[in-house]
Amino acid sequence: MDAKFDDLVAEIFELEEGAVKDDLTPETVDLWDSLLQLRLVTTLEEEFGIRLSMEEIESIQSIGGLREIVRRHAGSA
C-alpha cells in the first residue's frame, strides 16, 4: 500500500520521487490547499476502493495522518 500511496501523493502535490514523508503538512507543501487535498482524498478513495468520512477528511493534518486513515480503511477492506 505504501508505495502506491506515495506515488499518488507525489503525483497530486507534484513532489519528487522519494520526497513523500510522513511529516509533510499543508504548511510545508506548496500546492497543498483544500481543493487539492480533496482531490487527493477522492483519488485515494478510488484507487484503494475505500470511503473516508467527512470527519476523517477534516482531521487530516499531515501525510502521516492521512496514511494512517487510509491504512485503517484498506486493512479492513
Q: Which residues bind another protein (CB under 8 A)?
A: 11-12, 14, 34-35, 38-39, 42-43, 46, 53-54, 57-58
Q: Specify the residue, 23 or 52, whose C-beta has the smaller distance to another protein.
A: 52
How many whole angstroms separate alpha carbon 44 and alpha carbon 68?
A: 13
Q: Specify the residue, 43 or 62, whose C-beta has the smaller distance to another protein.
A: 43
Are residues 41 and 57 in contact, defined by beta-carbon separation less than 8 angstroms? yes
How many whole angstroms separate alpha carbon 76 and alpha carbon 23?
A: 25
CB of 42 to another protein, least distance (A): 5
- Residue 6 corresponds to which cell in the numbers above? 506515495
Q: Specify the residue, 23 or 34, whose C-beta has the smaller distance to another protein.
A: 34
